[in-house]
Structure 1
């Protein structure tokens, strides 16, 4: 161990969740990686220093900003020394010490100074740096990855990754780079633990919905109309239909099988389009793909997503193969550009980007902010500490007169300020802070002067309202103004603070915040979670503090799911856990915990908003819900939720979708057979007397088969193919668990771990691993999701077989999860446990000709669910 690091020692008792994480440290670091998710308020930096101390090697700590870099040194001196006496540290990566604190940017700049990168690697070897601590590594910009990946690939290090939110919503390549650098997640400090220990306050997320303005509605409706007209025209366009029929995939599929296998979605789109046009798909084409003559292929409806796939390939991916049709493709391209469907080499019939920009920055959200802030002020009065965060300043609206406020058509710092200045009753408590603009009300000048003498600053009255002053700095820095505004906010002189998320987001700390409005529409899970973290910190001066976090959403009434703005909000909720908002108290990470109806209609908006405002006022209820929910669990667990996808409500659809044929037999079939039996006897009793009992029985049997034979056959077929879905899911889960045990992925005692599968009220099915640790739960949940989701491109496929199934031409296709599909020996072990739990099957390697042919067939079988969310991994406190 490094001698100077041996003098460091944590001076306080560890919190229970910190001690639990450190207890498992030795196991996790065995692969030279320790990757931890730790939310704001969990002491992430202190844990990082303790890990450095335990590893005992010279260390480079990398942080995203200078402020956070400096916090590391401050925490080390304050918590690990007696009187800030540790001197073996450096802030200069060029002159490293036992512990060197630096930013990612400074390391990248240092990396660029080496023409020969071998000298760069040699530098770290010379200084014997063996531990790299990556704080908030999700901040890494693309060019910053290289210096770290290169270093890791050329020298062995202990890699310690600490983050509040992994970049799950980044591109697949960025997520892959992130986990390549940091390793798989080893442990997580759960928000419920922090609330339980009072390191975070009780809090709740609220969503306030708005309706688009008339101009926005007209724009959306007109856009949808143009798309619908184009689709209708296309279905009757003989030139385009002929062009698609001549496509090599449709015209000569047997010649281009390899291409078909690698792009099954494209081929599916061609078949689905032609089927929608009324073109008969010849059986011979389907037989080439492995379908038998007896198999019935039902093509799904031509949704806009299938048109996207078709045109994205025609205009981009497949264009080089269609050079003889270039002039025609160019005309199609121009037509799509005209209706804003084709831009930046991307086809988008759904209009996600175009309509999202319109709705996400809708001025209707300005009215939402007024309603929220007004309600919160009525509820909390002088105790209100509200922050509104947004993306842009919009200085062009600074001179907008009061009588023209409603003409503001963009959301931003100044538009929000102008609306609050005009419509909020307590405007004296309002202030603005951003990198280039600070505005305060003149009534707080005295309080301002008590913190810092006013002579250091300039105060210019606003042109449109002389009661508000623009604050400029004469001698002090920008940071000193922000510090003053923060103190005024903490003291209550400012009660509503409007700012940019970049300035007040990460690193800015005001524990008194009890209401946060996220009026930001640009950014990721990471940034939204960090902003949210500002409001859930505990306030030492108010032990019963609760935090209300407000999210804004503008509805697109032309689609059933509420539109892209609501959809992005739903996905962002996957990044953080919170307490439910219904009668049952539980903790999980989904949008569903807020208990909104599945379809949010415009007519319901006002009622929903009134209910939300009412819930938000009852802050004692939020505390109570957390208290009730926390005692129901001990750790965060991943569950897999399998969605009920039927068109009809679950109770009407369940015997069709979930194939509960026992219920069908016992209740419906038995009842109808009884009625049939009585009716037949009453009508035909004379046959028994005139022609004999034998003739009567034959007549009864024939009538019974005619009436119920098909229903009975169909029910049996469905049961053979699917069985009880919840029981079948449990058997699949058991096969996964047994394989994980045999391959050594699960270290927990086998007697303590089991699979549970249950159906909930709306028809969804929940399956989870009981008794495993978070890492084991994650492996199980991921593997189960891969099996249940529409088949993509697994290395191995399992096909369920039996003599009876082959005779009836019934096949089921399943992906072998990636964790088992990397090696044939592992895939065979999974197949063995599948056979034990679910019966006979065959395993196919999809990278050979026969396997690729079967893979395409399997993907076509799943074509109905290609654009549906079949399952979801949910994080639950249990």
Structure 2
């Protein structure tokens, strides 16, 4: 006898973290969205089926592949029924049932089969399919997104989205589209929960650094010199300066205010460039932005980023409005193309893409890989199960001679294979597995016979090393070649496996992996996290498994921050939650937890690599640190870090961890006065005796003004900028929380919620919220983050200015967070709380002409203002 959706019943006990997600489900689904992030191994599919059951409506479940699609039906029958007797299912989208399992590609093909969109919508209405469940939602491509989003909007679908990794590093437009379809993240299952429940193994991310080779260093240096020469030339190019001054934004500013307010970045870059070129900016150009005659505008120095914005607008965005200058624009375009900084309608004077391509594919990484494999072979001996993932096969290097291997300048499966096999003393256990190339050692052939008949496979000796053979299977083979090689790897007959991330990065399952080297550079943030997931799964045959994930970065030694390759790696670490290298282990996201050098010089790179290799030797210590960190915390909290001066340390004090620039400056004045005043009295006692108290005080104040006046002025200015900055942020956080509570975005009683604000090293500030649920915490951190970000294009703006600030030429502009800016009523609630905790301010609606003027003024202040800071969202187990 079959059962209905409502009668599906989970046969086992929910894991604690799963139960917590389901506990909050009824609140999250109120907006017809349920968006959950959970790593591989957390039981996303099981949760998805339970959610479908609780919604109780006809559902279309979409997966990226047929394999994953089939897993849904398998989990439903085996975890929710006793006799696999749920029959209201379909795998054919054309003939749906209560639950229909399909793929994104199949839905898109189905969508295109309709003559009109209305017919497509009507199909779902006719069959009463009201729920869309999106599995591995990060796979959504643009075409797939369109047919899903239209359906959601027209048919008012409920959307349930499950993913291991939201596509945070996609283009901003793509990220917005993703969240527009899936909704904001409602809940998250995090790695510590899974390690605690022994569903994931203890692990550590390690970064191995390399230096560019001479050829790459020369390329980077030459590129930067070319750009520097171009910038110097263009700043002295009278024809270009004249051309800019003829632009309607500059020549007829007042007539084009509406357009200027829409393109503030370009107008800012125009003014900054002309100022750098020693042109006097007439005050009327600034007056329209709301500046007064007594205000001094401190223009920032020109940077490649500003010149990039300038040329992007002239050569692409605004080109249709500059037809009469087309001949001159064509000359400018050719100059940029000659510099290789203009391609596909994009100006890139920073050279990010060009330099990243050079560093990310650096052959220096080949040496890094061999060093890592040698170390891991020494560390783990017979237990080693190492996988190296790359993007390209590079078959052209298949038959390289030994001497030619050293000359390979490209990263890929075959170059890695050659470097590893020639570097290892025991190369018998090395193999290659890709979709079109499989290589094993000849000694492994006999082991293959234990899994499948040897006659089912063909062998061709590898010309460059006849000890290895290229393997292919015949039609008679019982298994796919991927299954066979995977089994050989699991059994330990292969210990080092080199493959492509496209084949082995997602969906491939080999629980024995204990060392993963990510040599993929094409893979996105999503792909990186999926690949990383291969190494952190538990191995039931090895309960003491500890996984290491090796990340490679080629450092631009001319850039103290490490360059673009390291920057992208650091950004991806924001999604990796793991153990820190602190004395007291904590679990958090971000690359900061590894304590890598803050400035990259040659000595740092080698020293850091030695530390990393040393750390890899003691996997037991990593497991102990996970156990200790988990026991010291209760759950995940969201934290926002506010950076005051990222690269400039404040003056050193005895307590370096509690540095405060304001306290330091005031303290310096007090100490100075304590020495100065007694000495002045002793030296000028005769003035007091002969000329009287009034004359003496006049002399004292005059000398004080000359000696300490500037310091007192700077101290007052710094205090107006910073105050006790962590205290200010604490008040901002309180205003945000109280507003969220008043507007019913937070339902947890306020007396159960605590805001913790701390002053960190280098003057940075952290703000953490305790006691709120994950959804409320996310709303709080998001709102506070928006409040502290540089001004972009908020609907409402807060302006904090008084007589004292005006005299010091200071203005504070703050964007009203989006959640409070939807309607004026909500905005006024936030404004009221702001005034209560931070003093009076003016609320400005920026969608009027006057509001746009103030918005642009605010943005100009934030260009050079000390308030132009960055924030970082952190996740910490506490």
TM (norm. structure 1) is 0.96
Matched residue, 2:10: 10
Q: Could you tell me whether the CA contact under 8 Å between 1:590 and 1:874 is conserved in 2?
A: yes
Q: Could you tell me whether the CA contact under 8 Å between 2:644 and 2:869 is conserved in 1?
A: no
Matched residue, 2:307: 307
Q: 1:583 to 1:406 in 2, by over 3 A?
A: same
For residues 593-672 of structure 1, the aligned pairs below 5 Å read 593-645=593-645, 648-651=648-651, 660-665=661-666, 667-672=667-672
Q: Secondary structure at the match of 1:862?
A: helix
Tell which deviates more after alignment, 856-865 or 469-478: 469-478
State the alpha-carbon separation in 2 of the partners of residues 530 and 224 from structure 1. Answer: 35
Residue 768 of structure 1, CA deviation: 2.2
Matched residue, 1:182: 182
RMSD between aligned alpha carbons? 2.2
Q: Could you tell me whether the CA contact under 8 Å between 2:659 and 2:760 is conserved in 1?
A: no
Matched residue, 2:84: 84
For residues 199-238 of structure 1, the aligned pairs below 5 Å read 199-238=199-238
For residues 23-172 of structure 1, the aligned pairs below 5 Å read 23-172=23-172
Matched residue, 2:843: 843
Residue 20 of structure 1, CA deviation: 1.5
Q: Secondary structure at the match of 1:799?
A: strand
Residue 86 of structure 1, CA deviation: 3.4
Q: Could you tell me whether the CA contact under 8 Å between 1:202 and 1:547 is conserved in 2?
A: yes
Residue 623 of structure 1, CA deviation: 0.8
Residue 479 of structure 1, CA deviation: 6.3
State the alpha-carbon separation in 2 of the partners of residues 710 and 357 from structure 1. Answer: 49
For residues 563-578 of structure 1, the aligned pairs below 5 Å read 563-578=563-578
State the alpha-carbon separation in 1 of the partners of residues 314 and 154 from structure 2. Answer: 43
Residue 808 of structure 1, CA deviation: 5.7
State the alpha-carbon separation in 2 of the partners of residues 533 and 569 from structure 1. Answer: 16
Residue 652 of structure 1, CA deviation: 5.0
Tell which deviates more after alignment, 269-278 or 340-349: 269-278
Q: 1:451 to 1:662 in 2, by over 3 A?
A: closer
Q: 1:751 to 1:685 in 2, by over 3 A?
A: same
Q: Could you tell me whether the CA contact under 8 Å between 2:637 and 2:875 is conserved in 1?
A: yes
Residue 481 of structure 1, CA deviation: 0.8
For residues 723-734 of structure 1, the aligned pairs below 5 Å read 723-734=723-734
Matched residue, 1:697: 697
Tell which deviates more after alignment, 303-312 or 10-19: 10-19
Matched residue, 1:584: 584
Q: 1:865 to 1:543 in 2, by over 3 A?
A: farther
Residue 710 of structure 1, CA deviation: 3.8
Tell which deviates more after alignment, 305-314 or 243-252: 243-252
State the alpha-carbon separation in 1 of the partners of residues 744 and 435 from structure 2. Answer: 53
Residue 809 of structure 1, CA deviation: 5.3
State the alpha-carbon separation in 2 of the partners of residues 662 and 85 from structure 1. Answer: 72
Residue 646 of structure 1, CA deviation: 6.2
Residue 246 of structure 1, CA deviation: 3.3
State the alpha-carbon separation in 1 of the partners of residues 568 and 669 from structure 2. Answer: 45
State the alpha-carbon separation in 2 of the partners of residues 865 and 567 from structure 1. Answer: 24
For residues 187-586 of structure 1, the aligned pairs below 5 Å read 187-476=187-476, 480-586=480-586
Q: Could you tell me whether the CA contact under 8 Å between 2:379 and 2:617 is conserved in 1?
A: yes
For residues 804-843 of structure 1, the aligned pairs below 5 Å read 804-805=804-805, 810-843=810-843
Q: Secondary structure at the match of 2:291?
A: coil
State the alpha-carbon separation in 2 of the partners of residues 90 and 809 from structure 1. Answer: 69
Q: Provide structure 1 residue ranges, at least 5 long, that are not aligned to the other structure.
A: none
Q: Could you tell me whether the CA contact under 8 Å between 1:34 and 1:159 is conserved in 2?
A: yes
CA offsets per residue over residues 783-805 of structure 1, 9 Å max, x none? 11212111011111111134544
Residue 579 of structure 1, CA deviation: 0.9
Residue 67 of structure 1, CA deviation: 1.0
Tell which deviates more after alignment, 539-548 or 32-41: 32-41
Residue 869 of structure 1, CA deviation: 5.5
State the alpha-carbon separation in 1 of the partners of residues 708 and 118 from structure 2. Answer: 79
Matched residue, 1:686: 686
State the alpha-carbon separation in 2 of the partners of residues 93 and 57 from structure 1. Answer: 16
Number of matched pairs: 875
State the alpha-carbon separation in 1 of the partners of residues 380 and 710 from structure 2. Answer: 67
State the alpha-carbon separation in 2 of the partners of residues 811 and 114 from structure 1. Answer: 58
| 1:792 matched to 2:816 | no
Residue 807 of structure 1, CA deviation: 6.0
Q: 1:157 to 1:314 in 2, by over 3 A?
A: closer
State the alpha-carbon separation in 2 of the partners of residues 780 and 314 from structure 1. Answer: 40
Residue 78 of structure 1, CA deviation: 2.3
State the alpha-carbon separation in 2 of the partners of residues 818 and 208 from structure 1. Answer: 40
Q: Could you tell me whether the CA contact under 8 Å between 1:658 and 1:725 is conserved in 2?
A: no
Q: Could you tell me whether the CA contact under 8 Å between 2:439 and 2:468 is conserved in 1?
A: yes
Q: Could you tell me whether the CA contact under 8 Å between 1:585 and 1:628 is conserved in 2?
A: yes
Residue 838 of structure 1, CA deviation: 0.7
Tell which deviates more after alignment, 862-871 or 25-34: 862-871
Residue 247 of structure 1, CA deviation: 3.0
CA offsets per residue over residues 746-768 of structure 1, 9 Å max, x none? 01111111322111123210012
Q: 1:477 to 1:276 in 2, by over 3 A?
A: farther
Q: 1:459 to 1:838 in 2, by over 3 A?
A: same
Q: Could you tell me whether the CA contact under 8 Å between 1:644 and 1:650 is conserved in 2?
A: no
State the alpha-carbon separation in 1 of the partners of residues 235 and 6 from structure 2. Answer: 76
Q: Secondary structure at the match of 2:675?
A: helix
State the alpha-carbon separation in 2 of the partners of residues 14 and 155 from structure 1. Answer: 33
State the alpha-carbon separation in 1 of the partners of residues 717 and 210 from structure 2. Answer: 48
State the alpha-carbon separation in 1 of the partners of residues 493 and 628 from structure 2. Answer: 36
CA offsets per residue over residues 704-753 of structure 1, 9 Å max, x none? 23333343344234324442111111111111111111111101111111
State the alpha-carbon separation in 2 of the partners of residues 706 and 733 from structure 1. Answer: 40
Q: Could you tell me whether the CA contact under 8 Å between 1:456 and 1:475 is conserved in 2?
A: yes
Matched residue, 2:741: 741
Q: Could you tell me whether the CA contact under 8 Å between 1:457 and 1:475 is conserved in 2?
A: no
CA offsets per residue over residues 586-623 of structure 1, 9 Å max, x none? 11110101111212223321111111011111101111
State the alpha-carbon separation in 2 of the partners of residues 627 and 71 from structure 1. Answer: 32
State the alpha-carbon separation in 2 of the partners of residues 251 and 478 from structure 1. Answer: 77
State the alpha-carbon separation in 1 of the partners of residues 214 and 845 from structure 2. Answer: 56
Q: Secondary structure at the match of 1:268?
A: helix
Matched residue, 1:772: 772
Q: Could you tell me whether the CA contact under 8 Å between 1:790 and 1:866 is conserved in 2?
A: no
Q: Secondary structure at the match of 2:287?
A: helix
Matched residue, 1:757: 757
Residue 564 of structure 1, CA deviation: 0.8
Q: 1:128 to 1:264 in 2, by over 3 A?
A: closer
CA offsets per residue over residues 70-104 of structure 1, 9 Å max, x none? 11122222222224343332222222233222111
Q: 1:840 to 1:234 in 2, by over 3 A?
A: same
State the alpha-carbon separation in 2 of the partners of residues 658 and 286 from structure 1. Answer: 37
Q: Could you tell me whether the CA contact under 8 Å between 1:135 and 1:163 is conserved in 2?
A: yes
Residue 871 of structure 1, CA deviation: 1.1
Q: Secondary structure at the match of 1:174?
A: helix
Q: Secondary structure at the match of 1:512?
A: coil
Q: 1:58 to 1:381 in 2, by over 3 A?
A: same
Residue 329 of structure 1, CA deviation: 1.8
State the alpha-carbon separation in 1 of the partners of residues 819 and 6 from structure 2. Answer: 40
Q: Secondary structure at the match of 1:608?
A: helix
Q: 1:563 to 1:867 in 2, by over 3 A?
A: farther
State the alpha-carbon separation in 2 of the partners of residues 499 and 194 from structure 1. Answer: 27
Matched residue, 2:871: 871
